[in-house]
Amino acid sequence: MIDRTTATTGARPVAAKKKATAVSTPAAPSAVPKARGTGPVSPEDLPVRPGEDPWTQQELDELRAGLMEDVGRLREEIVVAEESISGLLRDSGDGAGDDDADTGTKNISREHEMALANNAREMLAQTEHALDRLDTGTYGYCESCGSPIGKARLLAFPRATLCVECKQRQERR
């Protein structure tokens, strides 16, 4: 026998709900501070791994300046890539005398520029996220486990959001 509400509305019949059982989830690491508002952090607010020297104000200033420089450069790259894409789209119309090879070349060029623009947008988002984390006091803590990411890793890759162990675990998946 067909349920008329299912047949007329397309909705699936609702099955009886099972009683929910409590699943214990580990509490969030207490090492990660809660966001403390806006404003620059001081060097002693940034975590370091055992054996690393604490952050200095000069290192923190250079880190912020480098991230801000990256933001400006990436925004320029996005504008240039979008202008190039716009030009390629204008030229991709019905070109008189274009053969299949010309059309293919235009498509590849357009896709290449779109990939460059998307990559720049992703890096810009990561860089702005790093600056936000600096402002809120969560920079330097792993977003997965809450442990310090490590000063050496952040100096090499300032946009890092995961410690080495969590990043390796993520890449194995």
**Sequence ranges of the domains in the chain:** 44-172
* 12 Cβ contact list (under 8 Å, min separation 6): 6
**pTM score, two decimals?**
0.69
Task: Write out pLDDT tens, residues 60-107.
Answer: 999 999 999 999 999 999 999 888 888 877 776 655 666 778 778 888
What is the average pLDDT score of the chain? 79
Instruction: Specify the pLDDT at position 107.
Output: 82
Axis crossing angle, helix 100-136 with helix 57-91, rounded to the nearest 10: 150
Task: Write out pLDDT tens, residues 8-49.
Answer: 444 433 344 333 433 333 334 444 444 444 556 788 888 999
Which comes out higher in pLDDT, residue 92 or 142?
A: 142
Instruction: Specify the pLDDT at position 60.
Output: 92
Which amino acid, 18? Answer: K
CB–CB of 78/114 below 8 Å?
Answer: no
CB–CB of 153/160 below 8 Å?
Answer: yes
Its CATH class, for the domain covering 44-172, is mainly alpha
Of 3-12, 96-105, 160-169, which one has max mean pLDDT? 160-169
Burial readout 29-45 (b: 16 or more C-beta within 10 A, e: otherwise): eeebeeeeeeeebeeeb
